[in-house]
Chain A
Amino acid sequence: MTDPSKTHTRSTDELPIAYVPDRPQLRETPEQLRARIPGWGADLDPADRPSHPKLRYDPDGTGAHWRFPERQPGAEGRERSIEHAFVTPVFGTAQPLHGVSGHIRRLAYARYSEARLGHWLLLIVGDRVDAWGSHVRSFATLRPDNPVTQTGVLSEFSADGAARRGRSDRRHHLLDPVIVAGPWVAGAGAAVFGARRLLRRMAR
């Protein structure tokens, strides 16, 4: 399958390079690369790259003019990782905890560190409860959730009504319907099965 002209230059005795001590020969010289590729070698020196070394102590170069930042008001009662000594001096205030999902999430933070799977699984449960709850609540508002506009599926057609070009890989075409619809079909099947068992039991 491999085109031999595309492989690395081989050592002289035609053994693949991995089995002999020689260094692989470059397929192009630095001069050739420099001529072909804009900027080739501009960061050649590893010691002169912005992220080297990884730790570079320079507290005066950041723009901060404090040793510890002033504390943002409102930290009392805000959830935090128990791996932190306190609520950080600055924190996000978007979407504070509320309702049932809020209780689940608060438990995740209060009970488990980030090292525990329980922490993350509870947060995921909280996410689903939040999503379902908001979805149901939206029907009591003037703006109920609309799966057509919110998923953006209409963008399968562009403004002029023509279909957009689909994805260019092939496997997705085959698998996507199965992967996306599969769990729903399985879920619906399980629900029907469960309901029938329940009905049968009640009938008895």
Chain B
Amino acid sequence: MRAMTYRGPYKLRVEEKDKPSIEHPNDAIVRVQLAAICGSDLHLYHGMMPDTRIGHTFGHEFIGVVDEIGSSVEHLQVGDRVMVPFNIFCGSCWFCARGLYSNCHNVNANATAVGGIYGYSHTTGGYDGGQAEYVRVPFADVGPVKIPDWMHDEDAVLLTDAAATGYFGAQLGEIAEGDTVVVLGAGPVGLIAAQSAWLMGAGRVIVVDHLTERLEKARTMAYAETLDYDEYDDIVVELKQQTDFLGADVVIEAVGAEADGSCLQHIAGTKLKLQGGSPVALNWAIDSVRKGGTVAVVGAYGPIPSAVKFGDAVNKGLSLRMNQTPVKRQWPRMFEHVRNGYLTPRAMVTHRFPLENISEAYHVFSAKLDGCIKPLILPSAS
């Protein structure tokens, strides 16, 4: 089969690989029909995630058709069209039994501090991902869901991660009616977080980024106020002025480890890999939220320590809430919101690339060329 493979930082190619096979009785093999590149994939692509092996196939946002099932699979049949949450999870460990699907203890032998994720290095379990023609889906009775007839494929593929994460981020903020919510980052995750903040009763939503097309999208798709941080000497001061010196009730950090905004942190974190990434956005969140407020972090960070302003967080009495998204837990309610038009994931799709051109897709998305917000990948077999 054809599959994207990692060849080292900033380098990848499409290779002929063996089609995956059933390795456990509850496995399924899914033939991928549509996949996407996530902002998280950029952290791998840039060589920031420890134990990313040459030859690894990325991709944790995908939908497809069940091609084969293992002997113990009860809930799926060959031919079912499924959407697959980015989390690999068993459904029965201590954590899964309590709804923490992204923190499953039975699927990632390589680390205990993170669960299993498709195509996301060996640090999340060493599973090849869905930017390929076929993918192995463990625990087929637990993760995948049949795509409802009414759902658009492009909504379905974004619900497997980016959209679910935006919605989850807004929930982590514990938004109360009338709250002022700041969203840092107007990527796919931040845009859905902004839409979701309104559903939870926000009185004001302010989105901060520095890419004009994304800020434009935040205004048209999420009805948000926007701030381009490149236009301000100090975005924290601007946010204080905007909120009558109180600070925001809730800040959602949807940027992660490759934040721009401080040259020194950026170079130390993302270029020299001296820390687990650049925590600029996280520090902006801590400094611009009001005392006693909540910072919700869905931006991804590596396992290496970063220079976070923890003292400010303590002294301000903040609640810091965060996780990888337990995707499937969000779905029933999100399906309603998508159906009602309250959440509009596919409005963010700007580019569609054939799998064979995936190295270009990564370059365009990574370098933010062409106003790219969300690129989709179409495997040749589909």
Contact = CB atoms under 8 A, between A and B. Distances in A.
A84 B370 contact: no
B142 A63 contact: yes
Nearest to B204: A27
B127 A149 contact: no
Given A42-B337, A57-B98, A64-B90, A130 B26 contact: no
A44 B179 CA distance: 11
Instruction: Bin chain B's interface residue count.
Output: 35 or more
A200 interface: no
Interface string A79-92: 11101100111111
Instruction: Bin chain A's interface residue count.
Output: 35 or more
14 contacts: A7-B244, A27-B204, A37-B223, A39-B343, A51-B99, A51-B329, A58-B97, A90-B88, A90-B138, A91-B109, A92-B127, A94-B57, A154-B360, A164-B364
B54 A130 contact: yes
A51 B172 contact: yes
B148 interface: no
A84 B198 contact: no
A67 B90 CA distance: 10
A33 B203 contact: yes
Contact of B54 (A17, A91, A134): A134
A197 interface: no
A62 B371 CA distance: 39
Nearest to B214: A168
Nearest to A19: B245
B236 interface: no
B363 interface: yes
Contact of A64 (B23, B141, B302, B364): B141
A177 interface: no
Nearest to A169: B210
Interface of B: 7-13, 23-26, 47, 50-57, 72, 74-75, 88, 90-92, 96-101, 105-113, 116, 122-123, 125-128, 138-139, 141-142, 168, 171-172, 174-178, 180, 196, 198-201, 203-204, 210-213, 223, 225, 228, 230, 232, 238, 241-247, 260, 263, 266-267, 271-273, 290, 302-305, 326, 329-330, 332-334, 337, 340-343, 357, 359-364, 367-371
A151 interface: yes
Interface of A: 1-2, 6-10, 16-19, 24, 26-28, 30, 33, 36-44, 46, 49-52, 54-59, 62-70, 72-75, 78-81, 83-84, 87-95, 101, 105, 109, 114, 117, 120, 123-124, 126-127, 130-131, 133-135, 138, 145-147, 149-156, 158, 164-172, 175, 179, 183
Contact of A70 (B12, B26, B329, B368): B26
Contact of B128 (A30, A81, A94, A183): A94
Nearest to B326: A51
A8 B177 contact: no
A177 to B, nearest CB: 13
